[in-house]
Amino acid sequence: MRLFSRLIVFASGVVAIVSLFGFPTDLFLGFSALTGAAIGFASTQTVGNFLAGLYLMISRPFMVRDYVKIGDVEGEVKEITINYTKIYTPTYNITEIPNRKVLDSVILNYSGKKDMIDYSFKMGFPHLENRTNKQMIEDCIKPTIEKFYEKHKDILPKKPEASMLTMDRLGREVMVRMFFPEGRINEFYDLQPELMRDIVHCWDKFKAEKCDENC
């Protein structure tokens, strides 16, 4: 509003000077039209963000502290303002997304249950000879999850889960489902990669044991 007021005062002053000294007005009118178009475009963006922010606050597709994925941005919602939605990402940074872009994006909310993040991630594994999917789950992934849960059960509200997702000639994918309390997002950002590392280390050991058996 201050900027708009200053522009009006400035334009009024220029008009007064032009009228007083009799300067040609064609150049001024052209400049005024260009300036007005720029201000109108900026105002359109601002008004669009403002209306989108109001809609988000009324419809509530997510709330502060929810863990969401908006387009390609994933993280905890820190603040919802009139113009921007602020997301605290797994890289420990704040990303501000214009509310118009939020409405144009696919929104995935992992905080469906009260005070709990229900988060799933995929892990891919190549095929091994004479080793079934069930053996991979039962002998490698589930024991790793069990140890992980025993280590962090004071934080985790439920034990993580794992199941087969897809399989093709190149390999197979496992879906790991992890539950975490809201409000402790930094610990979630630390523990989720830890679980992935534990599973990968177990898989490497799993392959080495299989190699020893064949040798």
Cα–Cα nearest to 149, from 178, 122, 120, 175: 178
Per residue in 72-83, pLDDT (tens digit) is 999 999 998 888
CA 180/CA 190 separation, integer angstroms: 12
Q: Tokens in use for 54?
A: 């109001």
* Full-model pTM: 0.71
Instruction: Select the more confidently predicted residue: 136 or 7.
Output: 136
Largest CA distance in the chain: 99
CA 200/CA 126 separation, integer angstroms: 12
Per residue in 87-136, pLDDT (tens digit) is 999 999 999 999 888 988 999 999 877 788 999 999 998 887 767 788 88
The SS3 call for residue 61 is coil
Q: Tokens in use for 190?
A: 């630390």
CA 141/CA 203 separation, integer angstroms: 8
Q: How many CB atoms lie within 10 A of CB 7?
A: 13
Alpha-carbon distances, residue 79 vs 56, 58, 62, 95, 100 (angstroms): 12, 15, 11, 11, 15
Question: Which residue intervals of the chain are DSSP H helices?
Answer: 2-21, 26-59, 99-104, 133-136, 142-152, 185-214
Q: Name all domains of the chain by residue range, CATH numbers in brackets.
A: 1-110 (2.30.30.60), 116-214 (3.30.300.100)
Residue 194 has pLDDT above 70, yes or no: yes
Please tell me the predicted confidence (pLDDT) of residue 136: 84
Q: How many CB atoms lie within 10 A of CB 125?
A: 19
Which amino acid, residue 67?
Y
Which amino acid, residue 47?
V
CA 142/CA 162 separation, integer angstroms: 7
What confidence tier does 23 reach under pLDDT thresholds 50, 70, 90? low
CA 103/CA 196 separation, integer angstroms: 32
Per residue in 126-183, pLDDT (tens digit) is 887 767 788 888 888 999 999 999 999 999 999 999 998 888 888 889 999 999 998 8
